[in-house]
Structure 1
């Protein structure tokens, strides 16, 4: 079966050569990183550009398969076909070499690929706009084009190697190091970051730990970091919900509290934390949280009234009166 899939993929490559995708007249993407966390196996790609919605074209990733960044005079088919070839058993270097060989415009492409085993390869065409280059390291590659200085990608590699934390945090550090060196000679506009699991569960929605895009912003990396923090908070909320399902109240409350610490002032998190407390019998602890949400927006009271019918709060008039008054 794998050999059959591989044959189909390889047959698609000559098609690319016969009918090459027209190169954009403007290079739309600037600096990026593809990486694999050697401990968890997580795969990721992150990018920043002075171009609208960079996340819609440059970053590609699939759990258990690999990650791709296709930029400069971008050809998105490198993302799709690269993942298909790696899924069919090709290594990242083999997949990239095959696609480059079939591309009549490879001299204006900048592409990096990494597979689930950490094999990595990158290409910077000799007609990419300077300063342009890449640096391949252990389980990662950083690449940039149209930079103000040629110190950008070495700084990215150094920052990634030295950074602590999970894959998202280390990739953010690499992007921020690029910007600290001057970044894109045109400035900045959009950014994106994807992290997927090292092994596929067969549920793509569960395998995507981060899938964030900043389409248009005066400081896209600052906004991307804010979104990564917010995503961490919502991931903790999800952990809390799962703990509730397991009837592990202590773990759930710890996760909810950690989420709120990451995103203070987020009424959504406070509200559902309060609902969960009620459902495990901790009504007194829930009341001040409900009060906090009502102060943020009185319409949360109306939502409380609607939850019993959906089974999310007990059908208990006395309890409902307490929750709506949010008094002890």
Structure 2
């Protein structure tokens, strides 16, 4: 009833899962990930206990294939399950029980595992694998995973239709303000076009929570400082540029894009539009 991709970033710092299904709030059931440890997807007749148990095994240094083997060996209903696992190093692993509904299957290799059940056909998993292998390793893991999910969706996806989708990515200190490891946790729980909805949410996430590239920052001096000060004053935030910009940006949820004495071109564009 689901198709998913579990992956590790090229630098090994991030782990994530992207999933879509004709199932309510699939993101509440399928994905699990822990920074520095790995990620997994449990689906088909999903065993949600695989999530904490699998992360515990990976935390102890068990590789992906052995993690899968231990989980399914201990499960009397394993033949109804589907599972994908990626650990901190080496190849990912995927499992499809013999009682999963067709079409069902998966592929795995270095740093990824892709799987699905009740799909329109093997072309869904094949398209997802092609998309992963064609992805730019320098692109964020969330963006790569979403591209893989979109490829599966275009290839046919869940043969029953569409309802929900989710992406979960973890990285040490990758969360809001650097105070958590959850870099991206987005869900579309009930929508006729959930993958497209997830794309919209990821664009917003990148706007509000992605730190700007230092090479693109502009110095708040001269004419630019005068322009920014004048615009902020008209918006009700008078004073020196840094303090006024921080006050306005906080109101607009752009605080993650602030840099003392400088301004992100994305923030400048939004200020000009405001």
Find out whether 1:117 has 2:63 as its counterpart: no
1:185 to 154, 159, 165: 159
Partner of 2:49: 77
Work out whether residues 195 and 209 of structure 1, in 8 Å CA contact, stay in contact via their aligned partners in 2: yes
Task: Kindly state the Cα deviation for residue 288 of structure 1 after the two structures are TM-superposed.
Answer: 5.1
Give every structure 1 segment of 4 or more consecutive aligned residues whose post-TM-superposition deviation is greater than 3 Å. Answer: 198-201, 250-253, 287-291
TM-score by length of 2: 0.76
Q: How many residue pairs are counted as aligned between the two chains?
A: 232
Q: 1:286 to 1:199 in 2, by over 3 A?
A: closer
Which SS does the other structure have where 1:47 is aligned? strand
Question: Which has more helix, going by share of residues?
Answer: 1
Partner of 1:169: 143
Q: 1:114 to 1:199 in 2, by over 3 A?
A: farther
Question: How well do the aligned residues superpose, as a CA RMSD in angstroms?
Answer: 3.0
**Which deviates the most, 84-93 or 101-110?**
84-93
Task: Kindly state the Cα deviation for residue 181 of structure 1 after the two structures are TM-superposed.
Answer: 1.4
Find out whether 1:216 has 2:210 as its counterpart: no
2:112 to 132, 137, 140: 140
Work out whether residues 129 and 146 of structure 1, in 8 Å CA contact, stay in contact via their aligned partners in 2: yes
Task: Kindly state the Cα deviation for residue 205 of structure 1 after the two structures are TM-superposed.
Answer: 4.8
Work out whether residues 137 and 157 of structure 1, in 8 Å CA contact, stay in contact via their aligned partners in 2: no
> Separation in 2 of the partners of 1:251 and 1:196?
30
Q: Deviations over 1:226-275 (max 9, x none)?
A: 11111111113xx47xx9xxxxxx5697xxxxxxxxxxxxxxxxxxxxxx
Task: Kindly state the Cα deviation for residue 179 of structure 1 after the two structures are TM-superposed.
Answer: 1.2
Unpaired runs of 5+ in structure 1? 1-28, 244-249, 254-276, 292-302, 308-328
Q: 1:205 to 1:224 in 2, by over 3 A?
A: farther
Which SS does the other structure have where 1:41 is aligned? coil
Which SS does the other structure have where 1:114 is aligned? strand
> Separation in 1 of the partners of 2:169 and 2:73?
29
Which SS does the other structure have where 2:89 is aligned? coil
1:157 to 119, 123, 129: 129
2:232 to 286, 297, 312: 286
Q: Deviations over 1:67-113 (max 9, x none)?
A: 01000000001111000111122222222111111011111100011
With a CA cutoff of 8 Å and minimum separation of 6, indicate the structure with the bigger relative contact order: 2
Kindly name which structure, 1 or 2, has the bigger radius of gyration based on alpha carbons.
1
Question: Which has more strand, going by share of residues?
Answer: 2
Partner of 2:241: none
Partner of 1:231: 205
Partner of 1:67: 39
Q: Deviations over 1:4-26 (max 9, x none)?
A: xxxxxxxxxxxxxxxxxxxxxxx
Q: 1:32 to 1:205 in 2, by over 3 A?
A: farther
Which SS does the other structure have where 2:180 is aligned? helix
Partner of 1:55: 27
TM-score by length of 1: 0.64
1:126 to 98, 115, 127: 98
Task: Kindly state the Cα deviation for residue 200 of structure 1 after the two structures are TM-superposed.
Answer: 8.9
2:64 to 92, 104, 117: 92
**Which deviates the most, 83-92 or 212-221?**
83-92
Task: Kindly state the Cα deviation for residue 168 of structure 1 after the two structures are TM-superposed.
Answer: 1.3
Task: Kindly state the Cα deviation for residue 180 of structure 1 after the two structures are TM-superposed.
Answer: 1.2
Unpaired runs of 5+ in structure 2? 238-246, 252-274
